[in-house]
Amino acid sequence: MDDTKALPADELTFSHLLEQVRQGSDEAAWDLVETYGPHVLRTIRRTLSREIRGKFDSDDFAQAVWA
């Protein structure tokens, strides 16, 4: 009997892309940013105060996430 939990499809995709990026795949890196970039940006915008968002570009914070 297998006691391991199956990962949801989106977690499998994320894990697979991350593994490919770690192995040096530029295409996987692009796919990762294209797929999850909007989620990262929304999280940044929700988290930062209006004052900070007025002084700094949310895209700059998103770039730092991917660096």
Condensed to tens digits (0 to 9), the pLDDT of residues 22-58 reads 999 999 999 999 999 999 999 999 999 999 999 999 9
- pTM of the predicted protein model: 0.72
Does 8 have pLDDT greater than 60? no
- Please count the CA atoms within 13 angstroms of the CA of 54 that sit on its side-chain side: 3
Cβ atoms within 10 Å, residue 58: 17
